Amino acid sequence: MIGIISFIGFTALVAVISYYATRTTDETSSDGYFLGGRSLTAGVIAGSLLLTNLSTEQIVGLNGSAYTDGLSVMAWETLAAIAMVVTAVFLLPRYLKSGLTTIPQFLASRFDVATKTITSGLFLTGYVVVLLPVILYSGSVAISGMFDVPTLLNVSDTTALIICIWGIGIIGSIYAVFGGLKAVAVSDSINAIGLLIGGILIPVFGLMAIGDGSVFGGLDTLMSANPERFDSTGNPGQEVPFSTIFTGMMLVQLFYWGTNQQIIQRALGAKSLAEGQKGLVLASFIKILGPLILVLPGMIAYHYFNGELASSDLAYPELVRAVLPKYLVGFFAAVLFGAILSSFNSVLNSSVTLFGIDIYKQHINKEAPERTVVKYGKIFGICLALSAMFIAPLIANAGSLFNYLQEINGIYSIPILTIIVVGYVTKRVPAIAAKIGIISGSLMYIISQFIIGPNRIEDALNTAKAAGITDPSELKLIAADAYPHFLHVMAILFVSNIIIMLIIGYFFPRKEAYTQEYTKQVDITPWKHVKLVGALITLVVITIYIYFMK
């Protein structure tokens, strides 16, 4: 009962603060609703970036990966810091110079409206089919388990899961659809503080549990028991082989932190370029500490449960259940609930933005006043949320949540990153090249990862089993050798698409060279320390890798 009361109290506090912080914002204009009136400061941007990223698909999924593979999966966190630095130094100045509300808006001016529409459609499809349902499902599993909802309500596990999915979905929709970006960003910033505190408590209590009450004793026990798991360089057959760091891993990070509407929308709402850069750099520094929350608990769980859990995705919730004092369960559940809402409402708000600006205003009602654009954007958001709530229960059979999410995202992430990169670094590559690049990139990835790859792996495993090989570790290596890792495939397709676009641009260049105009919507004077601080952050990441390299 104490846990439920503290849960309700903290959640209500966030809602009240968010309301008072946003009650004077004009939500009837596009800038007011979609970008918080272009008034976001560094701290709000950093908090919102981190909370948008940190949700249960990350906390549960990545800790599950760490349970299986150890420290090597930290690449998903530490390399994100470098990607944010690149975004702050190179991409954000260009975005704010054009006064963008959505990333596809740049593609309309650089290529044409059709390219923008295709890209917006890809984003929206990925959000409703993959990202929103995964957030709802993983969050519901965590909340249902923490409060033992099946017993509390005397219902089956499946029914409890559906109740939690709809509860999270409805509350998240209220924030995102009716509050706009500023409500999302403010609630994110408050929850960020709670999540950082609560997130650190889990490994602390976990280390104390295996170290007879001592955190450092627990760490010594953990490192001495399985020293090979503290290797920053992943091996073939693991989720993040070391070689992928130099190929698709950085591309995924650059897409996610530099071009993904769900994420970059926070920086697009900055009151100035300097504030946006400070926010990104601050978030990147905190991101370096991410493995303490997203990797270390999974490694502790492996030792605590002797690697005997039925599923790696149970590592985090089972560790929380085992080591967290009962009086903290309500607070931590509230914090985790805030993280779930953050990711859900952030994706939903970005979807509303993409539909309202890039589809409704562009193709359905070009003369619509801003109030009408916002209105129909909200209606679309409600429909999108309902669709995600119906799809979410189907994710139960998806396997590893985190790996599933990353692999599926490749369908649209790399093609979109490709055309944005080519769009900024070239002046005469035509619109037809962008259309071919984005469509061919998506199709080739689908054929590679979901048709050719599975068939090759199945044939290799069948051959191995026929030869009498039954050891799971050997079979895992055989499967890894049968077909390139999906991150390598992403890199191959990225380079191939760029070559295709450049060839088309060489033979069929656009008549006039593209020139970017300064819309003067915000001050684009850069923060004078951004390059120095960015270089230091990059050096820290490299040092961490070298230190843990075995």
Average pLDDT over residues 254-276: 86
Confidence label for 3 from pLDDT (cuts 50, 70 and 90) = low
Confidence (pLDDT) at 34: 46
Is the model more confident about 154 or about 1?
154
Residue range 416-464, pLDDT digits in tens: 999 999 999 999 999 999 999 999 999 999 999 889 988 998 898 888 8
Across the range 324-350, mean pLDDT stands at: 76
The set of residues, in sequence order, having a beta carbon less than 8 Å from that of 469 and lying 6+ positions away, is 475, 478
Mean pLDDT score, 228-251? 88
Sign of the dihedral through C-alpha 229, 235, 239, 243: positive
- pLDDT of 81 reads 94
- pTM for the model stands at 0.81
164-191: average pLDDT: 67
How confident is the model over 377-416, as pLDDT tens digits? Answer: 778 878 888 888 888 887 766 555 666 677 788 888 889 9
| Interatomic CA distance for residues 201 and 424, integer angstroms | 43
The identity of residue 480, as a single letter, is: A
Give residue 38's pLDDT band: very low, low, confident or very high (50, 70, 90): low
Helices 472-482, 453-466: crossing angle, 10 deg rounding: 140
Give the residue, 164 or 369, on which the prediction is more confident: 164
Q: What is the mean pLDDT of the chain?
A: 83
Q: Which pLDDT does position 448 carry in this prediction? A: 92
Q: Tokens representing 406? A: 């990353």
Instruction: Quote the pLDDT of residue 497.
Output: 93
Please determine, for residue 151, whether its predicted confidence score (pLDDT) is greater than 70: yes
Q: What percentage of the chain has pLDDT greater than the value 90?
A: 33
Residue whose C-alpha is closest to residue 52's, from 329, 441, 249, 344: 344
- Residue 235 is given by DSSP the state P
Map out the domains of the chain as residue ranges.
2-547
Whether the Cβ atoms of residue 93 and residue 526 lie closer than 8 Å to each other: yes
Place of tokens 């001592």: 214
**Residue 363 pLDDT > 50, yes or no?**
yes
CATH number of 2-547: 1.20.1730.10
